[in-house]
């Protein structure tokens, strides 16, 4: 896997961490999905913040 496909991102609003290894079952996102490949309409499964509210964590 390239670097971007494993990079975790953290929600600045609530602290939820999107980890590509786990995906996001709450939004039906399968494991292995890079943050940059999330659908445009994707929001934080915990607080509904949009992707621009996320910071690169690693």
Partner 1 sequence: MKPSVASLYQAVELQQEIPPLLIGERANANGSKKFRELLLADDYESCLKIAVEQEQKGAHIIDLCTAYAGRDEMADLTTLVRLCAGGLKAPLMIDSTTPEVIEACLRIYPGRAIVNSINLEDGGVNIRRVCRAAKKYGAAVVALTIDERGMAMSADDKLRVARAIHTIAVDECGLRPEDLLFDCLTFTVGSGDNTLRDAALQTLEGIRRIKAELPGCLSVLGVSNISFGLAPAARRILNSVFLHEAVAAGLDAAIVDAARVLPLARISTEDRQVCLDLLHNRQVAGEKDPLMRFIDHFSTASNTAEDEEQESTRPPEQQLFHKVLNGDKDGLEDLLAILRERFRPIDIINQILVPAMRHVGELFGKGEILLPFVLQSAEVMKGSVTLLEPFMDRTDGGSATRILLATVQGDVHDIGKNLVDIILSNNGYTVYNLGIKVPAETVIEKARELRVDLVGLSGLLVKSAIVMQESLPQYRDAGLTVPVLLGGAALTPKFVAESCVPNYPGPVVYCSDAFAGLKAVREFEEGRLQSTRYDSAVAVQPMKPGVRDAVVERSNPVPEPPFIGRRYVQDIDPEALFPLVNTQALFRGRWGYRRGKMSAQEYRQLIDGTVHPLYQDLQHRAVAAGWIQPRVSYGYFRCHSRENDLHVEAEGREYVFTFPRQGEPPFLCIADYFKSAEEGGDVAGFFVVTIGALIGEETARLYRENAYHDYLMLHGFSVEVTDALAEYWHAVMRRELGIGAALGDVQDAVTQQYQGSRYGFGYPACPDLDVHRPLFEFLKPETIGVTLTENMQMVPEQTTSAIVVHHPQAKYFAV
Q: State the minimum distance, in angstroms, from the CB of residue 8 to partner 1.
A: 11
Alpha-carbon gap, residue 5 to 55, rounded angstroms: 15
Alpha-carbon gap, residue 50 to 35, rounded angstroms: 12
Nearer to partner 1, 32 or 47 (CB): 47
Report the candidate in 27, 31, 30 with the shortest Cα–Cα distance to residue 40: 27
Q: Residues in contact with partner 1, total (CB under 8 A)? A: 27
Nearer to partner 1, 21 or 26 (CB): 26
Q: State the minimum distance, in angstroms, from the CB of residue 32 to partner 1.
A: 18
């Amino acid at each position: 896997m390239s670097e971007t496909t494993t990079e975790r991102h953290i929600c600045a609003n609530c602290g939820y961490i999107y980890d590509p290894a786990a995906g996001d079952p709450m939004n039906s996102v399968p494991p292995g999905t890079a943050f940059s490949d999330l659908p445009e309409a994707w929001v934080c499964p915990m607080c509904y913040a949009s992707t621009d509210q996320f910071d690169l964590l690693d």
